[in-house]
Amino acid sequence: MKKIILGGMFLLLAGSLTQAQDTPVYLDETKTIEERVEDALSRMTLEEKVAITHAQSKFSSPGVDRLGISELWMTDGPHGIRPEVLWDEWDQAGWTNDSCVAFPALTCLAATWNPEMAQLYGKSIGEEARYREKDVLLGPGVNIYRTPLNGRNFEYMGEDPYLASRMVVPYVQGVQKNGVAVCVKHYALNNQESNRHTTNVIVDDRALYEIYLPAFKAAVQEGKAWSIMGSYNLYQNQHGCHNQRLLNDILKGEWGFDGVVVSDWGGVHDTGEAISNGLDLEFGTWTNGLSNGTSNAYDNYYLAQPYLKLIKEGKVGTKELDDKVRRILRLMFRTCMNRNKPFGSLCSEAHYEAARRIGEEGIVLLQNNNGLLPIDLNKVKRIAVIGENALKMMTVGGGSSSLKVQREVSPLEGIRKRIGNKAEVIYARGYVGDPSGEYNGVVSGQDLKDNRTPEELTAEAVEVAKAADCVIFIGGLNKSRGQDCEDADRKSLNLSYGQDELIFALAKANPNLVVVNISGNAIAMPWVKEVPAILQAWFLGSEAGNALASVLMGDVNPSGKLPFTFPVSLEDVGAHKLGEYPGILRTDGSKILDEKYNESIYVGYRWTDKEKIKPLFAFGHGLSYTTFEYGKISVDKTTMKANETLTLTVPVTNTGKREGSEVVQLYIRDVKSTLPRPVKELKGFQKVKLAPGETRNISFTIDKEALSYFDDARHEWVAEPGKFEAIVAASATDIRSKVSFALE
């Protein structure tokens, strides 16, 4: 149970205090947090200080009972509040009131290209965490999409550092307004799940600062994140959870981070490095909770008795310890000791509405030949829905983001509910992927076993398709190991379970075929020319079916844009073309793999631009049920000084017959630079809703920062004088207007 301090008259009776006080300074809210931190720190014993730097259970760390300081409780996100587990184990605690609303995965949030949706997301999930008495939400994730094989990409915000930065800040702010800390993860360079504990990343400083760090920096400096989670992988031969360069030099030094660095569960490996290299709070070192003794496991953590022993033997000082404790106390006063935080709410209709709105706005219409979508129920009277993902629950599985939901509307259920009696809906399985539905004791309750052969399933699906006016195939990936799931990468870019062959067969059986891909990753589409309509639907959470049906039927005009590039093949991805993924095993017997990021800054569209590769679907791509026309971009001046800003304006008109939203994207090109630079880089975007015939002038303001690159030799950001080009686009390959200007 959590300790609750009521009112202003908390009487301290501990004999170790010199006197009892009605309002201790560290609880006195007339004092600043820093004053209360220093007061509490001065009262703590050495043993109490060491104790609060490590966990006491699977998801909690101790406070100080003697001083009335509350313990901290963590919970997994970032898509919903994880169900309660036993004190020392991953097994379910058996509660009946720990269900939640599952919000769409963060790839879907990024696909909205709408910071207002990120704020709504953070506010809503923060309210759920607060109601469940959680102090720290383990999320959001902002690792960059480097390879489409990464099993955990669905938890992140895409390939572009600017997009991820603009989306993470309002998420952080929305959560923390509830008195719940975010724990932004996984800092840093955790870009694959294969060999995630033993991969040493070798990356140049330009790529580090330009690609992999900006979203974390924005979360810290703009979002004011209260905690950060270290990563499993190594960088410069030190694990991310105790890494001098990442944690001390950059995070706490260059960025001035005043929060807590929390270890990932099982991410700590050495007491000395944990003391010196920036870790503050150690969790989950023995992830089963009980190793190294069933009664004293937590006392044996690296920052527990081993740390205390080194201090008492005079081998290390207490300077680092006091810094860790200050940070932890600061986190406590912001969260568990903050008596002015709101109460929160759980499974409210407002949260379900938020989940549905985010899902609807994140769905991406990739292809719509012949105007097949939206489905016209005046013309379509029999609809065939085919595919396992039409009914498989997607909130269970995937790793630590697995949830126990109050409800989850499947795509098939959502479609049937929306159509009602206006048309006949016939379902066929089509393929069997993973019929199970269990993770850490949470069971979906679905029985998806089907003993028919693939040939029998295909034959049935083809017959159903032939008899329908329209076919909706709902497939893609799932959250099973080797699909979109923690601790394992995908084996291939292609779909599993024979789906590609099935889609070819369905396209031959009925030309009115819609393919709905549910995934958090890009997939290969060898059938792309055979299928008129394709939707990218992500993992949409509790309201999945309702959100999808709204877009399919045209109740909602799709406005999502891809937050990452869909390549034709892995050969079109720099991380694979240049070839060391998933790492080269060292010959010294250490089991460490070195993974060199040979592509450097050329990730995603930066790579396809450089190599002149045509992607399957470009970064920023997404169609609508209406059309938009861009006018000519203009600038308020053709030359800007380093201390000035420049404003660009472009008129955008809805030239179609229905209301819709367009994401106007601004890219900047440095025409000539000393160091190699990408062909163009995203430096602005705005989502605008327009009525039919309406025109709006969209303005962007750019400054020196938008023109800068990181000079690794000088270790500073540089904006070189010279010519630049501002490019307004509807995607990374759909350029609408350009204008030149110069930096003096």
Other Cβ atoms within 10 Å of 450 Cβ, number: 13
What tokens were used for 207? 């790529």
Using only C-alpha atoms, what is the Rg of the chain? 26
* Structural contact between residues 721 and 671, judged by C-beta atoms closer than 8 angstroms: no
Other Cβ atoms within 10 Å of 645 Cβ, number: 13
* Structural contact between residues 669 and 565, judged by C-beta atoms closer than 8 angstroms: no
Angle at 250 between CA 249 and CA 254, to 5 degrees: 95
State the SS3 of 411-429.
HHHHHHHHHCCCCEEEEEC
* Structural contact between residues 137 and 155, judged by C-beta atoms closer than 8 angstroms: no
CA pair distance 551, 462, nearest whole angstrom? 25
Length of the chain: 744
Residues 6+ apart with CB under 8 A from 463: none
Catalytic residue among 135, 160, 264, 670: 264
Asked if 264 is an active-site residue, the reply is yes
DSSP secondary structure of 672-736: S-SS---S-EEEEEEEEEE-TT-EEEEEEEE-GGGG-EEETTTTEEE--SEEEEEEEEEETTEEE
CA pair distance 738, 733, nearest whole angstrom? 13
Looking only at the bridges linking them, the beta strands covering 646-654 and 634-635 are: antiparallel
Q: In this structure, what are the phi and psi dihedrals at residue 541, rounded to the nearest 5 degrees?
A: 80, -155
| Host H or E run for residue 550 | helix 544-552
Residue whose token pair is 């939203």: 661
CA pair distance 231, 266, nearest whole angstrom? 10
Residue 710 β-bridge partners: 717
- Exposed e or buried b for every residue in 401-417, given b needs 16+ CB within 10 A? bbbbbeebbbbbbbbbe
Q: 637, 651, 650: which is closest to 695 by C-alpha?
A: 651
Half-sphere exposure of 361 (CA within 13 A, CB side): 25
Enzyme catalytic residues: 264
